[in-house]
């Protein structure tokens, strides 16, 4: 079913994660954050996960980091199930970059201590060795090793994001999970960070899971794209192909609603707001907003079908 690219480093199969919401009075409700997500991330590949907020992108990141265990389904990393890794092993292989460079760094620690934190926790290196490695990692991301003794508030936004990247890279992981790494940054700094991520990928043979809602950014650096809607992948495929000829109406609407720089006419808003994941609509979850919806869409749930060689789409009408 899954077209695995050459060698896939990280694979997810039918991931489900449901949260229980409890009101003080009233009944329990199930929030289906992930509802059967499968994908494969190839080595040195960038898989972008796009979608609106509240559709399970960050939940997916937490499962992949091993911070939470999915209710069902499996994740395999380098051919071994994720659950068979110890926490230390896992953290040396998979690391994460966060959105907000201000709140993700401890203000009471010096830059090198922040970067060395994973080493201190996961390895038995001495303080001196940690310092050397941390400064090395800082050089890798383009920060002077002389800055190692500064505190986070002495860095600019872009430099802080670099610090976060250095911390993620200090153990030379294989997979980086980037949760909206540039959406809090100015365009000029965003460009610097995107270029840096591109360079590091080549230098250290990294694979990225890149979570973002900015489609221009995704188009710039993704090899593959998975579009997620209410905890389900609705379209997945080669990034260029998906952007040039989106097949699912949701993907098309997403792309069209991103204000484009060179084509004014393309910008058209999508109607309606995303449904609540607590009470998703019956049938295809996108049908209330879909311009093409037919009677069938509100009754039956479409499956994820393979189209062409490696494109998957969840829609009756394609």
Partner 1 sequence: MKKAQKLLEVQDLCVSFPTRKGTIHPVRHLSFEMKEGEILGVVGESGCGKSLANLALMGLLPDNADLKARTLRFRGRDLLSLSNTERRKLRGKEMAMIFQDPMAALNPCLTIGRQIDEAIAVHLGGSKKERRERALELLDQMGLPAPAKRLGSYPHELSGGMCQRVMIAQAIASRPGLLIADEPTTALDATIQSQILDLLLRLREERKMGILFVSHDIGVVANISDRAQVMYAGEVVESGVTDEIIKLPIHPYTEALFKSLPGHQKQRQSTLYNLPGVVPNLLSRPTGCQFHPRCPHAGSLCEERDPERVEVLGLSYKCHLPLGEWT
Binding mask 283-312 for partner 1 (x = CB under 8 A): ------------------------------
Token readout for 225 is 């794209």
CA distance 97 to 251: 26
Restricted to residues 89-118, the positions that interact with partner 1 (CB under 8 A) are: none
Q: Environment class of residue 298 by beta-carbon count within 10 Å: exposed (0-12), middle (13-18) or buried (19+)?
A: middle
What order do you get walking across the sheet with 224-229 strand by strand? 94-97, 175-179, 207-212, 46-50, 224-229, 232-238, 311-313, 305-307
Q: Among 262, 291, 295, 309, which residue sits at the site for partner 1 (rule: CB under 8 A)?
A: 262
Compare residues 129 and 156 and give the one whose CB is closer to partner 1. 156
Q: Find the part of the chain contacting partner 1 (CB under 8 A) among 34-42, 116-124, 251-259, 278-286.
A: 251-259
CA distance 235 to 241: 11
Q: Find the part of the chain contacting partner 1 (CB under 8 A) among 4-12, 108-116, 264-272, 309-317.
A: 264-272
Q: Among 5, 36, 73, 198, which residue sits at the site for partner 1 (rule: CB under 8 A)?
A: 198
Cβ 210 to partner 1 shortest distance, Å: 12
**243 and 255 Cβ atoms separated by less than 8 Å:** yes
281 contributes a contact to partner 1 by CB under 8 A: no
Cβ 142 to partner 1 shortest distance, Å: 10
Q: Among 20, 126, 188, 309, which residue sits at the site for partner 1 (rule: CB under 8 A)?
A: 188
Helix and strand tally (H, E) in the chain? 9, 12
Provide the pairing of β-strand 175-179 with 94-97.
parallel
Dihedral through CA 251, CA 252, CA 258, CA 260, nearest 10? 140
24 contributes a contact to partner 1 by CB under 8 A: no
The residues with which 230 forms a beta bridge, in sequence order, are none
Cβ 158 to partner 1 shortest distance, Å: 8
Element (DSSP H or E) covering residue 152: none
Q: Find the part of the chain contacting partner 1 (CB under 8 A) among 64-72, 99-107, 122-130, 263-271.
A: 263-271
Token readout for 280 is 């998703």
Binding mask 41-80 for partner 1 (x = CB under 8 A): -----------xx---------------------------
Write out the residues near partner 1 by the rule CB under 8 A.
52-53, 156, 158, 186-188, 190-192, 194-195, 198, 213-217, 219-221, 240, 253-254, 257-262, 264, 267-271, 273-274
């Amino acid at each position: 079913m899954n077209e695995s690219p050459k060698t896939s480093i990280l694979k997810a199969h039918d991931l489900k994660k449901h949260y229980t919401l409890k009101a003080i009075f009233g009944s329990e409700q199930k929030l289906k954050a992930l509802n059967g997500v499968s994908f494969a991330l190839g080595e040195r590949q960038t898989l972008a996960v796009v979608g609106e907020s509240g559709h399970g992108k960050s939940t997916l990141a937490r499962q992949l980091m091993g911070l939470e265990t999915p209710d069902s389904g499996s994740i395999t990393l380098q051919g071994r199930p994720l659950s068979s890794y110890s926490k230390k092993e896992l953290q040396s292989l998979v690391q994460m970059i966060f959105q907000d460079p201000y709140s993700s760094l401890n203000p009471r620690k010096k830059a090198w201590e922040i970067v060395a934190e994973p080493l201190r926790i996961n390895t038995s290196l001495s303080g001196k060795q940690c310092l050397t490695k941390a400064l090395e990692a800082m050089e890798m991301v383009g920060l002077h090793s002389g800055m190692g003794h500064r505190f986070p508030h002495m860095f600019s936004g872009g430099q802080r994001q670099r610090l976060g990247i250095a911390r993620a890279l200090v153990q030379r992981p294989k997979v980086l999970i980037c949760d909206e790494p540039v959406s809090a940054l100015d365009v000029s700094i965003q460009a610097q960070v995107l270029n840096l991520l591109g360079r590091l990928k080549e230098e250290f043979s990294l694979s990225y899971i890149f979570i973002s809602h900015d489609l221009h950014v995704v188009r710039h650096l993704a090899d593959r794209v998975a579009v997620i809607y209410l905890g389900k992948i609705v379209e997945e495929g080669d990034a260029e192909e998906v952007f040039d000829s989106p097949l699912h109406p949701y993907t098309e609407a997403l792309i069209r609603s991103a204000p484009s720089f060179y084509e004014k006419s393309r910008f058209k808003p999508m109607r309606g707001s995303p449904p609540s994941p607590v009470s998703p609509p019956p049938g295809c979850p996108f049908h209330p907003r879909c311009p093409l919806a037919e009677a069938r869409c509100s009754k039956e749930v479409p499956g994820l079908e393979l189209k062409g060689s490696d494109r998957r789409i969840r829609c009756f009408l394609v």
